[in-house]
Amino acid sequence: MTDGLDLYRGMRLIRRFEDAVQALFQKGEVHGTTHLYSGQEASAVGVCSSLAAGDRVAATYRGHGHALALGVSPQGFMDELLGRATGVCGGRAGSMNVIDLEHGLMGCYGIVGGTMAAATGAALAFSLRRQPNVAVAFFGDGTSNQAYFAECLNFAAIRSLPVVFCCENNLYMEYTPTETVTAGAIADRPRALGIATEIVDGNDVFAVRQAAASALELARSGSGPVFLEILTYRIVGHSRSDPGAYRKPGELDEWKKRDPLLLARRALVDEHGFDEAEVDRIDAEVERQMETIVENALAAPWPDPSLPVEQFAGGAR
């Protein structure tokens, strides 16, 4: 995936996928809770479009966007969210814990900081096996105060592990403004460890892609971890039950003016020489794609609870 339209399509798919999830939620077809990625699409698409075969990604509970950007089947993912047997994890994982190794998705991690741990471990494997791959951890701004953050940054740094830490700073940790519980600037933390650190406009997919490409190259070259702080905003609730009262007045509207899809569309037309019509066509294609996906998902079979489940890999003992 390399051209601008592809990046746009990737983002559009995520946005419409999340819209569909939200609608299905309201209809009672998706159960439990979901954490939508809407507004942050440029981060996942910008980073994941720069990966090489064999690279691994650790995504969060807010992982739909990362998964789709990695090429995980949107059908299989939607089926998973609906708990169907045809889901990428057979319905076992649900929204927060999807794993799809074939597409480089090590997992979506429900524990804040878990992605950093997982990616650090993957990078350790790459490093010791002399495998020319990079591991990517996505996580939020609030994660910068969690134990795994500091321990993993240091561990990756001292072993010069090929890992790119992608901090998606959307200003909030659930409903609490991160700045109110965070001392200093997030980017100063990796810097204090001597880790190469860059801050990037997370709503500009081209900027993210460029920053990610450099970061991945640097990490792949063996010079150690790279930290990207990706400034973005979540234009939907944290999860299903979000009270929403925490946003500063006008903030949401301001950020909606910088919606990554809007920005990308504008750039494609104004700078990359595409027609509006071409972009519209993508929208229409994604629309149809999502319709089919939702339809199929709703018709997909449920897993059979009467099937026996082994306790351990490799047999009962």
Partner 1 sequence: MSEIEFRRAIFEALDEELARDPAVVHFGEDIAAAGGVFAVTKGLAERHGERVFDTPISELALIGAAYGSAINGLRPVLEIMFGDFLPLVMDGVINQAAKFWYVSNGQGTCPLVIRSAVGGGVRFGAIHSQMPAPWFQNVPGLKIVAPALPGDAKGLLLSAIRDDNPVLFLEHKHLYGVKGPAGTGEAIPLGVAAVVRAGSDLTIATAMKSVHEALAAADELAGDGIDCEVIDLRTLRPFDVPAVVQSVERTGRLLVVEEAPRTGGWAGELVAEVAERAIGSLDDIWRLATPDHPIPFSPPLEDAFFVNAQAIAASVRSRLGR
Ligand X SMILES: Cc1ncc(C[n+]2csc(CCOP(=O)(O)OP(=O)(O)O)c2C)c(N)n1
In the complex, what is the shortest distance from the CB of residue 74 to partner 1, in angstroms, rounded to a whole number? Answer: 18
Are 119 and 56 contacting, i.e. CB atoms less than 8 angstroms apart?
A: yes
Name which of 155 and 233 has its Cβ closer to a copy of itself: 155
Only segment of 105-113, 152-160, 197-205, 252-260 that touches ligand X (CB under 6 A): 105-113
Tell me how far apart the alpha carbons of residues 272 and 266 are, in angstroms, rounded to a whole number: 9
Q: Is residue 140 at the binding interface for Mg ion, with CB under 5 A as the rule?
A: yes
Listed residue (120, 127, 106, 188) closest to 153, CA to CA: 120
Query: Which of Mg ion, a copy of itself, partner 1, none is residue 118 near (CB under 5 to 8 Å by kind)?
Result: partner 1
The two structure tokens encoding residue 208: 């993210």
Are 41 and 205 contacting, i.e. CB atoms less than 8 angstroms apart?
A: yes
**Site size for ligand X (CB under 6 A):** 17
Helix (H) or strand (E) holding 155: helix 147-158
Query: Which of partner 1, Mg ion, a copy of itself, none is residue 102 near (CB under 5 to 8 Å by kind)?
Result: partner 1
Query: Which of a copy of itself, ligand X, partner 1, none is residue 305 near (CB under 5 to 8 Å by kind)?
Result: partner 1
Please give, one letter per residue, the 3-state secondary structure of 250-265.
Answer: CHHHHHHHCCHHHHHH
Residue with tokens 């993508």: 282
Sheet containing 226-231: give its strands across.
105-109, 56-60, 135-140, 163-169, 226-231, 196-201
Q: What angle do CA 95, 295, 59 make, to 5 degrees?
A: 20
Name which of 62 and 265 has its Cβ closer to ligand X: 62
Which residues ranging from 143 to 202 are in contact with a copy of itself (CB under 8 A)? 145-151, 153-155, 157-158, 180-185, 188-189, 191-195
In the complex, what is the shortest distance from the CB of residue 51 to Mg ion, in angstroms, rounded to a whole number? Answer: 23
> How is residue 291 annotated by DSSP?
H
Which residues ranging from 281 to 300 are in contact with ligand X (CB under 6 A)? none
Q: Is residue 142 at the binding interface for ligand X, with CB under 6 A as the rule?
A: yes
Q: Is residue 39 at the binding interface for ligand X, with CB under 6 A as the rule?
A: no
Which residues ranging from 213 to 242 are in contact with ligand X (CB under 6 A)? 238
Residue type, 105: L
Tell me how far apart the alpha carbons of residues 144 and 185 are, in angstroms, rounded to a whole number: 10
Q: Using CB under 6 A, list all residues that contact ligand X.
A: 62, 110-112, 139-143, 146, 168, 170, 172-174, 178, 238
Q: Using CB under 8 A, list all residues that contact a copy of itself.
A: 145-151, 153-155, 157-158, 180-185, 188-189, 191-195
Q: Using CB under 5 A, list all residues that contact Mg ion.
A: 140-142, 170
